[in-house]
Chains A and B, each alone.
Chain A
Amino acid sequence: MSMRITLGQFIATDSPIHRLDPRTKVCAALVAMVSVFFIHTPAQLVLGFAFVLAAVALARVPAHRLLESIVPLVAVIALLSLFNLLLTNTGDVLATLGPLSITDDGVRAAVLYSLRLVIGVLAGMLLLLTTTPAQLTDAFDALLAPLARLGLHAHELAMVFSLMLRFIPTLANEASTLADAQTARGGALGEGSPIKRVRAVVPLVVALLASSLHHANDLSRALDARCYEGGAERSHWHPLRMRRSDWAALALTVAYIAALIALR
């Protein structure tokens, strides 16, 4: 059992997308991801792909890195298209398999709904590949700042988010080492009945909790030593600034949404 999780897989290159203000990228990516659910026609699908692939081309990230990120989702997407294929009853029947029938609407849905998800995944990945976690934190911090008046600690939330990105791989690594150690002691992780499985995972969870507390203790020492005070005024090495290219990118995003609606 070996888990290798990488998050925040920022690729350091210089591109128009890399240079955009992180707030622009977060907004555009969120819009692109949500827009996916309004794609219902092939023309819209083409438009969606055109929009996201244009961004990919501009970002100059290696294609295999993007493909790698989609691979784990292939199973989910395949399952989804299978459901669509078998459970859609409207339209002309093309073939029957016992109680199930495949219709032309079903085929359409299977292709369309799985492909439109790919657009959303690509948009999200592109954001992670071209934006550093610190930039993401700053963007969320700035975007959520208006909510501070409602009592939301935007800055702290953003900081927690960034620390999470930092520590998930560390803890995943540790979990995998602990799982090894317990397997070597005859622990039956992932074997037997559900009750057995739950019981076998308890030692792992307790050990992982203990070690998380240890990390948390050390981390708070490190944050104090580096004079981090939640909510206090701090400077930024790369202050956020909206440039002309940012406004252009936002305008393009709006234009994309308008076109998507027009093609309905």
Chain B
Amino acid sequence: MGGGGQLLTDGCRADGRAPGAAARLEHVTLRYESGTQALEDVSLEVAQGERLCVLGANGSGKSTLASVLCGLLAPDEGSVQLVGHHVFDATRPQPIDFDAYRTARRSLGLVFQNPDDQIVTTIVEEDVAFGPENLGVPAEEIGRRVERELRRVALSDYAKADPTRLSGGQKQRVAIAGALAMEPRLLVLDEPGALLDVRGRQAILRVMGRLQRAGTTIVHITHFMDEALEADRVVVLERGRVILEGPPAEVFSHHDAIASLGLEEPFSARLALRLSLPWTCDDSTLERAILDAAQPPQTPSGTSPAPVAKAAGTRNPASSRHDTPPALRVEHVSFAYDRRKNALDDVSFEVAQGASVAIVGQTGSGKSTLLRLLCALEAPDRGRIYVGNVCTTRKRDRRRLHGSIGYVMQHPERQLFAETVLEDVSFGPQNLGLTPDEVRHRCHKALDLVGLTGLDDASPFELSGGQQRLCALAGILAMEPRVLVLDEPTAGLDPRGRRGLRAILEDVRRHGITIVQVTHSMEDAAHADHVIVLDQARVLLEGTPAEVFSVAHEELLTGAGLGLPLPLAWALRLERAGHPLLGAPLTLGELVRALKRGGAPCP
């Protein structure tokens, strides 16, 4: 994030208390030393007990606002009052009141994106106690608070656990408990769910609901619009300015403005819009509206003709055309990191040449291990994996495969290392031993493909977060792999970034490259040709999206910590409320078409 504003770590001066709201910003402007304007003339008041949601795309100034609100960053202009302390006022001879900041910070809590960086000890309960210890809270009181907060985030059973062994969602709940144990008058949550899977995010939202009912003042910063529905008030930021403000229903009704921001509306709102129904983002209102609009049933014909997926383990001829050999063939593969537990247990499947495959499963189901084996980074303990005709068992063969199977790790931008974009992208092609001309040609082709043309000489570390990811992706595409393997490629991106990346992957696929991606978005998975569901080291289900995401599998999928894609879930909801059968729509478009047909079964 570079330097900027003024970091507040030490210093001292007179006291300045001011009564009223939990936080009040007036005409606050903040720019970083690099010249970027992070906040511009922002006026905002957070009332006691309110749940405020701040929405904005990446780079809109959300995180800066979070830092200002929790007293870690002072602005350049305007005035700031935090929990009753007048900490900053540009009209004063000495605008920053360090002492007031220090006092205010004792009543402010912050939880941010990366759970790993917020946990400072290796025992859960000691981490929760860390904040209160710093505040000088007496020992017995610390014990009470630790117990209370761990219960509140539903982690009482993990009090003595090592946080590094918890899932991302659990870690984030530890961080929330740690902030709450300091009994803050204002809790700032800066994209707490950005790096979590669906289940982790839902758990965080549940905790937030509980806090809201208990009267805790919350500022929740996010780019997931559906998370904003529960808030009392929503503020939308763009380029450091507040452009919309009000209750969620009112803010989201400005769909043109929202669409231009690259934010995604809640599914229910998009559905209402496509059906030309009165705008709403309340699920039950929409359900009633759709049912009212539906024509009387035209003799529904039995149950939905949902195709049935193959039971786990059986061969799936659908995925392998007989004329071309499969791009990947996994035969009875098992793998373990230690003797106690198998990370993969008798996994078999095939991926057809040029197909796009989605692998879904919750944290710890073996997805990442499977990717490592597919990328020939390690050999399976038992069973065989073939990439084309080459088996990955022998080390020399694995070495040979590294050019033809591209691996995009989770948060690939973390692997950037070179001084210029071009140098970074050419790392792979150079390792393939190509001529300098060929290397240069391939790098430019890859950079064009991801839309980073002309940035050859820029430093990869100065690109924006989304561009860094594209640069890392170009580095892999430049090797011209036949199979591209990606581990949650859209994690942490805002909706615009996600759409951009999806379009690039579509493009890559049109070049005939087979794509295998791990995703935790069921909607993304529904767009693939083939879906593999992993659960507890085994293949639970596999088949086409229509086969896997069927009504019959609803319970199985929920049990594995997954769900149905939203369009299908909505179709089921409507059918159960008496709507004629809608088939099994997997995309918004299909659902809309089915509803417009008035619910005749799909051909």
Q: Restricting to A233-257, which residues have a CB under 8 Å from any CB of B? A: 233-239
Residues of A contacting B182 in the complex (Cβ-Cβ under 8 angstroms) = 226-227
In the complex, per-residue mask of B113-129: 1 if CB is within 8 Å of any chain A CB, else 0: 01011111111001001
**Chain A interface bracket (under 10, 10 to 19, 20 to 34, 35 or more):** 35 or more
User: Across the interface, which residues of A come within 8 angstroms of B428, CB to CB?
Assistant: 185-186
Alpha-carbon separation in the docked complex, A219 to B127 (Å): 13
Q: Considering the chains assembled together, what is the distance between the CA atoms of A207 and B126 in angstroms?
A: 31
- B319 to nearest A CB, angstroms? 24
Q: Is B375 an interface residue (CB 8 A)?
A: yes
A133 touches B121 (CB 8 A): yes
Please indicate the chain B residues that have their CB under 8 angstroms from the CB of A1 in the complex: 377
B407 an interface residue at 8 Å Cβ cutoff? Answer: yes
In the assembled complex, which residues on chain B have CB atoms less than 8 Å from the CB atom of A210?
Answer: 414, 416-417, 461
Contact across chains for B136 and A183 when beta carbons are under 8 A apart: no
Minimum CB–CB distance from A205 to chain B (whole Å) comes to 8
Give the interface SS of chain A, mostly helix, strand, loop or mixed.
helix
B83 within 8 A of A: no
CB closest chain-B residue, reference A173: B164
**B455 contacts A by Cβ under 8 Å:** no
Q: Per-position contact with A for B556-574: 1 when CB-CB < 8 Å, else 0? A: 0000000000000000000
A118 shortest CB reach to chain B, Å? 23
The reply to whether A221 and B112 contact each other, CB–CB distance below 8 Å, is: yes
Are the CB atoms of B409 and A166 closer together than 8 Å? Answer: no
Q: How far is the CB of A156 from chain B (nearest CB, A)?
A: 14
A165 in contact with B479 (CB, 8 Å): no
Query: If the complex has contacts A184-B406, A186-B479, are A229 and B134 also in contact, measured as CB distance less than 8 A?
Result: yes
In the complex, per-residue mask of B169-181: 1 if CB is within 8 Å of any chain A CB, else 0:
0000000001100
Check: B275 CB closer than 8 A to any chain A CB.
no
Q: Bound state CA distance, A238 and B125, in angstroms?
A: 12
Contact of B134 with A2 in the complex, beta carbons under 8 Å: no
Task: Decide if A162 is an interface residue (CB 8 Å cutoff).
Answer: yes
Given A181-B409, A184-B405, A222-B120, residue A203 in contact with residue B418 (CB < 8 A): yes
Which residue in A170, A186, A218, A233 is a CB contact (below 8 Å) of B112? A218
Q: Contact at B417–A226, with CB atoms within 8 Å?
A: no
User: Which of A203, A215, A227, A236 makes the CB contact (< 8 A) with B427?
Assistant: A203
- Nearest-CB distance from B424 to chain A (Å)? 9
* Those of A7-39 within 8 Å (CB) of chain B: 7-8, 10, 12
Judge whether B409 and A10 touch: CB under 8 Å: no
- Interface-facing stretch out of B33-41, B138-146, B590-598: B138-146
The distance from the CB of B489 to the nearest CB of chain A, in whole angstroms, is 13
Cβ–Cβ contact B431 & A238, under 8 A:
no
Distance, CA A12 to CA B161, complexed state (A): 8
A-contact bits for B412-444, CB 8 A (1 contact / 0 none): 101111100000000110011000000000000
Are B117 and A222 interface neighbours, CB within 8 A? yes
Decide yes or no: A185 and B134 within 8 Å by CB, A12-B160, A222-B118 being known contacts.
no
Q: Are B126 and A134 in contact (CB under 8 A)?
A: yes
Stretch at the interface among B74-82, B103-111, B308-316, B538-546: B103-111
- Within the complex, the shortest CB–CB distance from A54 to chain B, in Å, comes to 25
| B382 in contact (CB, < 8 A) | no
Contact with B along A80-114 (1 / 0, CB 8 A): 00000000000000000000000000000000000
Query: Is the beta-carbon distance between B120 and A234 smaller than 8 angstroms?
Result: no
Contact B72 A2 (CB under 8 A): no
CB-based nearest B residue for A169: B164
With A187-B427, A224-B105 already in contact, 16 other A-B pairs whose C-beta atoms are closer than 8 Å: A10-B162, A134-B123, A178-B414, A184-B402, A184-B476, A185-B476, A187-B431, A202-B417, A211-B414, A215-B116, A233-B136, A234-B133, A235-B133, A235-B137, A238-B139, A239-B139
B121 with A162: CB separation less than 8 A: yes
A225 at the interface (CB under 8 A from B): yes
Q: Which residue of B lies closest to A186 (CB)?
A: B431
Which residues of the other chain, B, contact A178 by a CB distance below 8 angstroms?
A: 409, 414-415
Of the candidates B118, B179, B376, the one having the most CB atoms from chain A within 10 angstroms of its own CB is B118
User: Are A218 and B72 interface neighbours, CB within 8 A?
Assistant: no
Within the complex, which residue of A183, A221, A228, A237 is in contact with B129, where a contact is CB–CB below 8 Å? A237
The chain A residue with its CB closest to the CB of B476 is A185
Indicate if the CB atoms of A185 and B142 lie closer than 8 Å: no
Q: Are A227 and B134 in contact (CB under 8 A)?
A: yes
Q: Across chains A and B, which 10 residue pairs bring their CB atoms closest together, nearest first?
A: A186-B431, A218-B117, A184-B407, A12-B160, A225-B110, A206-B417, A185-B428, A226-B131, A203-B417, A222-B118
